[in-house]
Amino acid sequence: MFLKECTSYLTISIIKLFMVKVVPLQEFYQNTFGGRPCQLDTSIYVGTEFNCGCGSSHRWDPYMMPVIRELPMLKLVIDNPSCGYVTFVKIKGFFKYRFESIVSCLNGIEKPQKKIKKNTITKKTKKTKKVLKKKKVK
Ligand SMILES: [Zn+2]
């Protein structure tokens, strides 16, 4: 019994270490409220790993993942367009830095759905044009 409790506690703590709390966009805005555009020298943090809302960890790259917001107490909002998640992190450490992820959120609406809708609309307009032409001929 004791062993079972121990292992379950360990798995929970491991999950907590590698997973970020993923929240709705509205809650994410509430968490990151009061920030300003980043004025911090972030060049020293290049290559620092952080846990992302997509489930994997990324090495931070200023060109691939721009910092969209800076908050007091060394907190940053990192945007990652390649996986679509924005992650709110706290900078920890003095000589070897690490990013402690606080919350993450899926940014924006999925693009493929929009494309499908556009296609159906263009097909419909083409059909109506053909009908109009026929009417004019008559
Ligand atoms: Zn990600």
Q: What is the full per-residue pLDDT of the chain (138 aa) written as tens digits?
A: 667 777 777 666 655 556 899 999 999 999 999 899 999 999 999 999 999 999 999 999 999 999 999 999 999 999 999 999 999 999 999 888 999 999 999 987 554 444 444 455 555 555 555 555 555 555
- Tell whether 10 is covered by a domain: no
Q: Which domain holds residue 132?
A: 110-138
Assess whether 38 and 95 both reside in one domain: yes
Ligand 1 center–CA 43 separation, angstroms? 20
- Tell whether 3 is covered by a domain: no
Assess whether 96 and 124 both reside in one domain: no
- Tell whether 119 is covered by a domain: yes
- Tell whether 5 is covered by a domain: no
In this prediction the pTM is 0.68
Assess whether 97 and 116 both reside in one domain: no
Ligand 1 center–CA 81 separation, angstroms? 9
Ligand 1 center–CA 82 separation, angstroms? 7
CB 53 within 8 A of CB 87: yes
Number of domains in the chain: 2
